[in-house]
Structure formats: C-alpha cells, structure tokens
Amino acid sequence: MQVVDGGWYAKRASGQHRVELVTTAPRGAILDRDGYRLAMTEQASTIGATPAMISDPARVVAAIAEASGESPDTIMQRLEGTGAVHVDLARQVPEAAAKRVQAMGLKGLDFTAEDRRVYPSAIATPVIGVTDLEGKGLAGLELQYDKILRGTDGLEVRTEDPGGNAISVIRTEVMRPGHTISTGLDRQIQIEAEGVTAETRATYRAKAVTAIVMDPKTGEILAMASAPAPTNGDYRQATNDQVRLRGITDVYEPGSTFKAVTLGAGLATGRIQPTTTVDVGDGWQLYDGILHDSHPNPGVKTATEALRESSNIGIAKLAYEHLSTSGAKDSVLSQWIDRFGFGMPTGIDLPGEVAGIVPAYQDWSGTSPLNIPIGHGIAATPIQIAQLYATIANSGVQTTPHVVTRIDGQGPVGLQQKRVMPARAARTLIGMLEGVVSDQGTGSAAQIPGYSVAGKTGTTKKIDKNGEYSDHRYLAWFVGFAPVKNPRVLTLIMVDQPRGGQYYGGEVAGPAFAKLTERALIALGIQQDQPSTTTG
C-alpha cells in the first residue's frame, strides 16, 4: 500500500485533512458627493432545499416567493425541475425576509449567508450599473471600478483532524475589503434630471431625451440621465433601451451646437473677430450643393449676429472665407476640430464611450464647407458637446469629464486639464454665446430669471435608412452654462425625435435646460447674479 499505492493514498489523506476557508471581501460602497450611498452591500441568504425532505411543496414555494419577490411558478420549477439532491430555490434573499421563512420551521430548507448588492437611492441607475449574483461588476461604475470595489478575499489553508479541529495553519491571506468610491453626482440634481428628461419626453412624445449636468471647472458629472429609464431604478428588470448610457454611447449630428467650434477656431487664431462681417443671402451654392437658413434674414451680418441668429450661411461662409487653407494638407477648421477633441473619446470614467465620427480632411468633398462648419456630416456624443462648452466656460481650459472624485476619501482623482484655446478668445466667445440667450437670439427660451446664461441651440434632421435627411425626424439640442462670469453649472439637453410640430432646439430643449439648470444652481447654493445686457 505504501509503495505501490502510496501516492494515491497520500492524495486522499491530504484531501481529507487539508481545508481551505475563504472569507469573502465585502464590496465597497458608491457614494454621491454628500456621502449618500448609491450602492452598498448588505447581508442576505441563499435559501436552498433538499427536495426529498419537503412534505408541503406549495407552502414552501409560497413562502419563498413572498420573501424573494420571484414568481411561485419560477420557484416551483427550481424545486421540481432538476431532480437534483439539493437545489438553490432563491439567491440573495434580504436577511429579514429570510429569517421570516426560517422561523416557519419548514422541513427540508437550509439557509446560507451571502452578500447582496443593493441600490438604496434608486437613482442614476445606468451610471451606477449593476453586479451579478457573485458580486462582479457588469455595467456602469460597478464595471469600470470593479477591481477597486471588489477587494481581496481572505484565505486560510489548514489541516484538521477527523473532528474538524485545526491541527496546523499552512497559509493565510488577509481579507481586504473593497474600497469606497465617492462621486460628483448630486442626489437632488440627479433626481431633477431624471424628472426633466421624463417630462420632456412625455411632452413632445420623443423617442428619447438625454441630460448631462457638470461642473465646467472641475469636469465633475453632477447628473446624467436619459428617458426612457429603468422603472423604479431596477437595472435587472430594465431593457437595454432603458439602461443605455446615451450620453456616451450614442452619436448624433450636433448641428448648430458645433458652430462654437468654428467660431472658437476663428477667434483663437485671430482670423475672425466678433465684428467680422459676412454677406448672408437667401442661399449659398457651392458646386452642386446649396445651403439655406431655417429662418432666412438676408443681409450683411457680423459674426456675433450670425451666431445669435444661428445663421447656417453666415457661419459656413465665415469658415470658408477665413478658415480655409487652399492646397494645404489640413485646414484651420479641421485642425481645431481635432484640438477640441472630436473624433476621440473624452476619457470619461464610464464603460462603453465611443469616439464619434469625424471625416479626415483629405476625405472632405467640395461641398463639405457647406455642412461641417455647422455640425453636419460629422457625429458626436452628447458628452463631447458638453466638454466643448465646458472648455469655453472654463476660459479655454479643457477638463476630462469624470464621475468618481475620491477613493476611500482620498483624492481628488480624475482631474486632468489642458489649455485648448487662449483665455481671451474663450471669454470673447462666451460673450457671443450670451447673446444667443438674449431676447433677440434663438435661445431666448433658455433664460433663467436672476441668472446670466450663455449657450447654443441646435436643430438637426436625422438621416433615414435611404441615406437622405428626413423631412420629419429631428434632433433638438440646447447646451449652455451659468452664471456667465463664473460658470458653475453646465447643462446639455438633447431631445431625439420630438413630435407634435415643435422641433427647434430653442423651443424644445431650451425650456428643459432652463428648468434643470435653475434647479441645479439652487441645489448648489449659487447666488443669482445680474444678467448683463448683450449687444450686437
């Protein structure tokens, strides 16, 4: 036995005496900016059963269905469907509910302690994400910061005698709990954002509505919401359409919101001034393309007036006359599209961000000057447009948008900044954008009583399956910030396919912007300022 079968017996003996005890590390919490728990781990139980020992299946099924929230049919299928000696009837049953079942003394049931991930605030569901039953992050911050949140399980490897008493400890690994992460999300602003997106979607019977609220100086995301949204914040019961992070995963033609890139390039290089004039006619033809204004107002206009009225012809002509470089490998405008970060992810700390679509300059056609300067022929995510205007609001310094601000109270983390445009040019552009929200501008509906506001409207036609622009499907945008002299809140609203006859960004997205931004300013305690009088 020792010589011929010694190895086999030694292996069996080791298996009988050697025991590995794993201590599961509790997953770290996710907090909002004020310390409220958006995600946390609590004690729960798995309720298992030995089917052969159960004498009253109906009573058992009814009790467990009530405790777990699952249907009795599902529980009964688990009990009767596999023919296994032992089955798990319900996972992660809340501890109080499991104790009620346990107190019933039902024969054949057993109870095993385990952790359960819960989301007590039931807000920002797509941003926070979800874990699987084993505690692994599947989406949102739960996925993005999975390794940090998960911690390290403890392990003790020891030998035991037949009675289960420890003989010796072979190896020990200390359990390390998961780290707690703090976010810039403001619970009150997030609730308002979810309410405004749902209300706007219902009012205009829109396909979807997206809202982003951020601090333009720090890049912290204060709120991010979309409608449709998960019912009652339940990620596991939601559809893919309800949990999509539209602000970072979906691309759209930005339309007139992109005009800030064109004028920003001109102001930064000194090629365009607020007083630079352009002749705006009823239409502008270039090769076989022709450009019109949605609200024709022909005449000679300054760059400030062209932006305030959102003149497609005016802005496109300014780019053609001042930002083109004949025969060069690149144009001034193309260089600044790249400089502002379009065609690449912003780097926000959420999974699934896409880069958008920007054609290389060598692929521009003869009619590209008619559409690219006004935000057509390219595609961007809402977060890219939000970052553009945050850069302008922050005097030309671009900050990477980010959700997480601290880990275990240490930080800040995620703060990455670089200067993109001269401060003087950015301040000049801010003044021009303030005119957009004046009584004479396309964004008058975005005004907020007591606060100065700068921003831009945008309206674009969606592209149909045949590759042509639709005559009835639109995108309505508004993006802006307040107060103008010391911007603290930047808000973007994008309404996908509003119905009912209204579709312009100013009239559809503007009021939603005003409502959400005002509530954010109040929530943050930002004092009212005296709105300056815009001219030009």
Looking at the structure, do residues 268 and 380 belong to the same domain, yes or no? yes
Look at residue 27 in the predicted model and tell me its pLDDT.
95
529 in a structural domain: no
Q: Report the pLDDT averaged over residues 412-418.
A: 89
Q: What is the CATH number of the domain that holds 91?
A: 3.90.1310.10
Question: Is the pLDDT at 343 greater than 90, yes or no?
Answer: yes
Mean pLDDT on 259-269: 98
Q: What's the rounded mean pLDDT across residues 410-420?
A: 90
DSSP assigned state of 377: S
**Inside any domain, residue 243:** yes
Q: Which long-range contacts link 131-138 to residues 24+ away (Cβ below 8 Å)?
A: 131/27, 133/91, 133/92, 135/24, 135/27, 135/41
Residues 102 and 203 in one domain: no
Instruction: Locate 49 and state its tokens.
Output: 């059963």
Do residue 411 and residue 516 come from a single domain?
A: yes
**Considering the domain boundaries, does residue 157 fall inside one?**
no
Within a domain: 78: yes
Q: Which of 80, 100, 118 is the last residue of a domain?
A: 118
pLDDT category of residue 7 using cuts at 50, 70 and 90: low
Segment among 15-24, 289-298, 368-377, 505-514 with least mean pLDDT:
15-24
Shared-domain flag, residues 66 and 197: no
Burial classification of residue 332, based on how many CB atoms lie within 10 Å of its CB (0-12 exposed, 13-18 middle, 19 or more buried): buried
| Structural tokens at position 312 | 């497609």
Question: What is the model's pLDDT at position 536?
Answer: 38
The residue-averaged pLDDT of 194-213 equals 98
Torsion sign across C-alpha atoms 137, 139, 144, 149: negative
Domain boundary among 79, 101, 118: 118
Same domain, 200 and 94: no
Contact 457, 480 (CB under 8 A): no
Domain that holds residue 114: 38-118
Question: Residue 534: is its pLDDT beyond 50?
Answer: no
Reported as a single tens digit per residue, the pLDDT across 428-462 is 999 999 999 999 999 999 999 999 999 999 999 99
Instruction: Tell me what percent of the residues of the chain surpass a pLDDT of 70.
Output: 94
One domain, residues 111 and 191:
no
Q: 191 and 101 in one domain?
A: no
H/E stretch holding 22:
strand 18-23
Say if 30 falls within a structural domain: no
User: What six digits make up the tokens of 238?
Assistant: 């939601």
Cα–Cα nearest to 292, from 314, 259, 308 = 314
Query: Position 323: which residue type?
Result: L
In the predicted model, what is the mean pLDDT of residues 462-475?
92
Same domain (yes/no): 220, 87: no
Please, is 85 exposed, middle or buried when counting C-beta atoms within 10 Å of its C-beta (0-12, 13-18, 19+)? exposed
More confident residue, 157 or 249: 249
Amino acid at 303: A
Whole-number Cα distances in Å, 213 to 184, 192, 307, 439: 11, 10, 24, 24
Residues 101 and 228 occupy one common structural domain: no
**Domain membership flag for residue 12:** no
Q: What is the CATH number of the domain that holds 303?
A: 3.40.710.10
Q: How many domains, in total, are found in the chain?
A: 2
| Assigned domain for 510 exists | yes
Q: What residues are paired with 480 via a beta bridge?
A: 455, 491
- How many residues are present in the chain? 536
pLDDT in tens, 31-90: 999 999 999 999 999 999 999 999 999 999 999 999 999 999 999 999 988 778 999 999
CA distance 350 to 125: 13
Tokens of 5: 């079968």
**3-state class (DSSP) for residue 426:** helix
Output the average pLDDT for the chain.
Answer: 92
Residue 408's CB: how many other CB atoms inside 10 A? Answer: 13
Of 100, 118, 136, the residue at which a domain comes to its end is 118
In the chain, the amino acid numbered 369 is: P
Q: Which of 39, 46, 43, 180 is nearest to 118 (CA)?
A: 39
Question: Per the domain annotation, does 18 fall within a domain?
Answer: no
Please report the pLDDT score of residue 328 as a whole number: 65
| pLDDT class of 3 with cuts at 50, 70, 90 | low
Cα 341 from Cα 348, distance rounded (Å): 13
For 116-149, the pLDDT digits (tens) are: 999 999 999 999 999 999 999 999 999 999 999 9
Q: Does residue 315 register a pLDDT over 50? A: yes
The pLDDT assigned to 158 comes to 75
Pairing of strands 489-496, 469-482: antiparallel
47 touches 93 (CB < 8 A): yes
How many C-beta neighbours within 10 Å does residue 327 have? 4
